[in-house]
Each structure stands twice: as C-alpha cells, then as structure tokens.
A and B are shown apart, each in its own frame.
Chain A
Amino acid sequence: MLRFIIRRIIMLIPVLFGLTVMMFIIARLLPGDPVALAAGPNATHEEIAALAAEFGMDQPMIVQYWTYASGLLQGDFGVSIFTRRPVLTDILTYLPATLELVFAAMALSIALGIPLGLMTAVYRNRWPDYLARVLALASISMPRFFLGLLLQLCFAMWLMTFPLGGRFPIIYEYPPFVTGFLTLDALIAGDLESFWLACRHLALPAIAMSLSPLATIMRMMRASTIEVLQHDYVTTARAVGLSQRRIVFKYVAKNAVSATLTVIGLYFGWLLGGTVLVETVFDWPGLGLYATQAIVAQDFMPVIGVALVIGLLFVLSNLVIDVLYGVINPKVRYA
C-alpha cells in the first residue's frame, strides 16, 4: 500500500510538469499584452518595456519557463504582475476559503446523496424513485450561479434569514488562524457566536454548490445499489429471514458505496475548479474569485498557479479515493 502511494506520488511529477508547460504555452500563444494591461492605459512605451524587464517578460519563452520552473521547485510560484504580490502568498490566503466551501458542499451532498440513492434503489420504479430521479436530473440541469441567485433572493433579500455574501461580517474580527476554516477556527477558539456566524455565511453558497454533486452521487448510488441487490448473497440473506432494513444497511450499503466513491473523488476535483461561479455570486473570497480577477487582467502567473494547485488537489483526491477503496473493500489489491 505504501509503495502504491509513493509510486502514484512520483507519477504526479510529469503531470505537474506538463501542466505548467501547457499553461505557459497557452499564455504565450494567445494574443493580448498583459504587460501593457498591467501598466495602465496611460503608460508610455518605455514604462511598458521597463515593467516587462522587471518581470522578465522580455526574455525568450524558454528562458521564462526555465526561470518559472526552477522557482517552482523552490516553492516560488512567481509574482503577480498586477497585484505585485507573490502568487503563493495569495493562493495560501484564498485556498482555505475555497476548501471550506468545497468540503461543506461535499459533506452535504454525501450525507444526503447516499441515503437518497439507497432509498430510490429500494423503492425502484415506485413513486419515490421517479420523483427523486426527475428531481436529480433537474438539479444537474440547474446552473449553480442561478440557484445561488435564487437562494440569495429568497433567503437573503426577502426573508433576510441569511447574509447576502462574504465569509464573515466585516465589523467582526476573524477567529485566530489555525486551519483557515472559519467554522473550525471558531470552534477551536471556543467562540460559539463566531461559529454560528461563519456557518450562516457558509450555508447558502454550500447549498448552491452541493445540488449537482448530490444528484450525481444519488444516481450513482442508486445504480450500484440496484446491481448489488441482485447478488446471490442478498437472496440468501432474505432466505435466512433477515429484515429488509438489516439487509440494506448492513450488507448492501457498504458494497454499493465503493462504486460511488469514484464519483465522489472526481466531483471533489471538479468542484474545486467550479467554485468560480458560486464565489462570484456570494463574493466568497476564494481561489475562484482570485483566478477570475487574474484572468480578466490577463495576469498569467496567478492563473497558472491556481490551475497547478487545483490540478494537484484533483490528482491527490483521486489518490485518496483509490486508497479508500482498499479500506472499504479489502478484496482490492494494489498492483
């Protein structure tokens, strides 16, 4: 198992290398002059040239890539040409917010998706099943940002039960930094009021993000439960006279979950890259908002940095899922 994990981590290196090369090529091949954009509309040619020289953007592309890649090996993600801050510092500031949102959304969709999937499979082809399936397809078709706007409209503007956006009220002080997750940090500090505030800010964006993974997890869980239900051992369990509830929860659920795990792993990475929209709606200060600002400014170092971090987390989450397979199902061997 350890050897399997180490080998997978070593295999990450060429992937990350390729990712940087690809993003670099795209950044350079496409039209647009980021330096001129960063220098502002009134900059002279000399000022633009000076800025380009400062960031090494007057060098040939190979040289630029070499500088970037060797910096990367030392943990240097480059400097944003727009904010002039190191990209790594920015990413570390915004990453916890995005991770907190994604974890909350995933927790919500797993907690609801798996039982719903089990239920619809057990009630297969009866009305709860039909209803849940149509709702699932509708949820997948619902644009996250539109759902976010509707939630905002209903709960923040009309009913005023939830805050409109942001992570925390501006007038309050953040709980002391431990994990970067405001909810956890507030709990660690023993500050229940802050915890409650953080949860209320988190609720609407997390719901908006969770709907489509919830539906996908439910559909996957339904399909694998139906498959497992047809196995001989389920028939045997029925013949022995075990109750339906015991069969479903003790024998079927565990076997059905392992197929659903892949979807969960994929969705985790997908959500990380897809927070952009929900973060825009709720002004959630995360990586997505940061990337959007960088993209609009054609500031490519942060964009490459964000793509790299999300790519890394995506591959790592798949690795975690592969390891979890073995924990849930001991029959899986690591080759």
Chain B
Amino acid sequence: MSEPSKQVSPMGVAADPMEDIAVESARRLAWRRAVFRFRQSSLSMLGLAMVLAVLFVAVFGSALAPFPEHIAGGVDTGNRFMPPSLAHPFGTNELGQDVLSLVMAGTRVSVLAGLGIVLIATVLGTVIGAVAGFFGGWLDEVLMRISDLQLTIPGLIFAMAVAAALGAGLFNMVIAISLGWWPGFARLVRGEVLAKREETFVVAAYAIGAHPLRILFRHILPNIISPVIVKMSLDIGFAILTVASLGFVGIGVRPPTPEWGTLLSISRSYMPDFWWTAVFPGLAMFFAIFGFNLLGDGLRDVLDPRARR
C-alpha cells in the first residue's frame, strides 16, 4: 500500500535516524488514509458495527441471557412452544427453553469456531505457501499438488467425513474444517512470496548475509500481511456458515451445546406451527455472516489496491 514502507523498512537497518522517523510517519499516514477511506463507506461501518455487536454477544451473551439456566440444558416443560412475547422475545422451544437465550449462547460457539478455523487455516496455509514459494523446486511442486488435490475434494463432504470420524465436539469440528481450509491461504501466500522474493530489499538482505529463514519471516512475510488479513476477514463468515452447516446435517456439536445450525436442524420438525424455533437461530446466523462479509468487503476495498473499483 505505501511505497516507502515497502522499500525501506524491511532492510532492518536504518542508517539515519531521521529516515526511520520518515518511514514511521509514512506508515502512519497510509494507515490513517486507510482508516479514512474505510470510514467513508457506510456499508463497511455497518459491517463493523454488526461484527462488534456479534463479538459483544459472543463474550457476554451467556451472562446477559434472560434464562441462563436454559443454556446449561435446563428445561421448563410448562412453557413449551410459547410464541414470541415480551418475556420470550424469540419464543420458546420444544423443551420450553427460551430461544433468545440459546441463540445468544450459540453466538460464542459459532464465533469461537469461526475464528479458530480461520486462525488454524491461516497459520497452516501461510507456512506451507511461504515455504513453497520461497524455496521453490520439488518442495514447491509437492506442496502445491497436495493443495490442488485438497481443492478438488468437495470441502463440505471432506469436513463432514473427517468430523464424523473424529467424533462429536466443537474442537473436533474445528480441526475437521480447518484441515480442508488451508489451500486457499497457501496459494495466496505463495503467489505473494513469489512476487516479493525478487525485490531489491530481499536481495539486499541476502547481501548483508541474513539467514534465509530470517529473510522469509522478518522481511517477506510482514510485507504480505494485508492480503492475508483481507482473506481472513472474508473467510470468517464462511467458516461460521460451514460450522452451522455441519450442525445442520447432524455432524459436529451435539445438544445441549447451543449451536445455531443444530438448533435449526432440531426445530425443523416443528415447522410451520412453531416457526420461531427455526427462524430466529437462522436470522442470527445470517446477521453474523452478513456482518463479517460487509466488514471483509470493506477491508478489501481499503487494503487491496487491485480490487478497488
């Protein structure tokens, strides 16, 4: 994004302290410009607000829920299938549990899983892509063929198969989905590393005798971070969607852990009369995914100059 930071800072040595300050202020300027552009876009700001709301509920949801005892699996059979009302804004389900409380508690499950998947995939993909792009040769060939293969296997079926074999549970599900998620990051990082590998600052780092791994991790990777961040933010929504999808087909998190997809799948059988048991978890899912997608789209417009239109 900012030309000076590309050429000067990664050298790692600043001969002139004034130059260091100039680099710093150029970076800050670029950052401020990005923030300004981001704030110009009302859709991006809406996305940010939605994401903050989702994160807030994810952190404090269980504490703020009107019926915390229902989250732990408590039932209230006297109040089964109550339509939305002031006491139960989202109604109650087949066990008399408050749907709003379950949806709020489910936020933490989905957001945690979504973030976990994207983080694991980013680390895996970045290391594999960086190594492939930086060292090249047969290693590159082998790693990229594996990633091509992974991309050919239908992702959802792969995740379902691995999750089913690993057994139920949030952690297992996150692992199962992440295992199929890294190739996108690997390809992105490999491409960026290939482009940066030939730049002057890398050649200069070689010239002063830096170790190749140091060059890769200290000089090249920090310079390709913004497309990775953009992809991460765009992927979180889809990761949340995948988690919910596995829950919906009955693989993954088991009740009483409140997970949006699982809630939806259970309440399917109670439609159309008790539609609220299905519609509200679904809307929560849509809200969270939409928020992350709006934010990701806005970030891409700001951080990825090629995509700016």
Q: Please give the residue numbers on chain A whose beta carbons come within 8 Å of chain B beta carbons, in ascending order.
A: 15, 18-19, 22-23, 26-27, 30-32, 134, 137-138, 140-143, 145-146, 149-150, 152-153, 157-158, 223, 226, 269-270, 272-274, 276-277, 280-281, 288, 291-292, 295-296, 298, 300, 303, 306-307, 310-311, 314-315
Contact = CB atoms under 8 A, between A and B. Distances in A.
B268 A149 contact: yes
Contacts of B156: 273-274, 276-277
Given A30-B162, A146-B286, A152-B271, A276 B157 contact: yes
Contact of B286 (A15, A143, A273): A143
A31 B166 contact: yes
Nearest to B283: A146
Contacts of A288: 157
B289 interface: yes
Contacts of B165: 26-27, 30-32, 298
Contact of A295 (B152, B161, B241): B161
B67 interface: no
Nearest to B148: A15
Chief secondary structure at chain A's binding surface: helix
B164 A157 contact: no
Nearest to A30: B165
16 contacts: A19-B152, A137-B293, A140-B293, A152-B271, A153-B271, A223-B309, A269-B154, A273-B154, A273-B155, A277-B248, A280-B248, A295-B161, A296-B250, A307-B158, A311-B154, A314-B154
Nearest to B250: A296
B272 interface: yes
Across chains A and B, which 3 residue pairs bring their CB atoms closest together, nearest first?
A273-B154, A30-B165, A157-B272
A223 B282 CA distance: 31
Interface string B126-167: 000000000000000000011011101111111011101111
B101 interface: no
A216 B241 CA distance: 17
B152 A311 contact: yes
Contact of B279 (A150, A157, A272): A150
Contacts of B289: 141-143
A63 B105 CA distance: 48
A77 to B, nearest CB: 15
B104 interface: no
A145 B245 contact: yes
Contacts of A19: 149, 152-153
Interface residues of B, number: 45
A123 to B, nearest CB: 14
B164 A298 contact: yes
B286 A153 contact: no
Contact of B167 (A23, A27, A32): A32
B149 A22 contact: yes
A295 B164 contact: yes
A146 B160 CA distance: 19
B149 A273 contact: no
Given A31-B165, A273-B154, A143 B290 contact: no
A112 to B, nearest CB: 20
B294 interface: yes
A307 B153 contact: yes
Given A27-B161, A143-B289, A145-B264, 18 more contacts: A15-B148, A15-B149, A22-B150, A23-B161, A27-B165, A137-B290, A141-B289, A145-B261, A146-B282, A157-B272, A158-B272, A273-B154, A276-B245, A291-B160, A292-B249, A307-B157, A310-B157, A311-B153
